[in-house]
Structure 1
Amino acid sequence: MTEAIYLEVSEKTEAAKKAGRRVSVFGMLKFLGVSRSGYLAWLHHVPSDTEKRRKAVKAKIQDIYDDSKAPS
């Protein structure tokens, strides 16, 4: 699903560039069905301490996994 959306947006962007038009962020949001307020909230989101901690734990787990798969 995500790949299909990406391809559709890419095609729309390329078509606009070939036609010599600019691609508006808010026009693309309308095309995708995303509200301006939702986009702007996501854009200016500051991660909470919990989010930061979870990201750090995931990174540590990934490092341990990568080290275990490294050739000896």
Structure 2
Amino acid sequence: MTEAIYLEVSEKTEAAKKAGRRVSVSGMLKFLGVSRSGYLAWLHHVPSDTEKRRKAVKAKIQDIYDDSKAPS
């Protein structure tokens, strides 16, 4: 759940930067009830080898599923 909030904050921050607006990340985090230190830790997180493998397996499964549903 928290990761979804962090992701949303990151997306909104990037969109605001592209639009040339300034955004208070601290304000957003406070409003959402999330700690700034937790957000920063998530932002700079480096995925472990296990996380990378799980993501690769999940992508492969999704590809196989998508291929099985494609019209012949």
State TM-score, norm by structure 1.
0.70
The root-mean-square deviation of aligned C-alpha atoms, in Å, is 5.5
Larger Cα-atom Rg: 1
Aligned residues: 72
For structure 1, which runs of at least 5 residues remain unmatched after alignment?
Answer: none
User: Structure with the greater relative contact order (CA < 8 A, sep ≥ 6): 1 or 2?
Assistant: 2
Deviations 1:9-40 (A, max 9, x none): 99999999999984301110000000011000
The aligned counterpart of 2:7 is 7
Q: Which runs of 4+ in 1 moved over 2 A?
A: 1-23
Identity %: 99
Please, which moves more after superposition, 1-10 or 48-57? 1-10
Task: Quote how far apart the aligned CAs of 1:55 are.
Answer: 0.1
Partner of 2:32: 32
TM-score by length of 2: 0.70
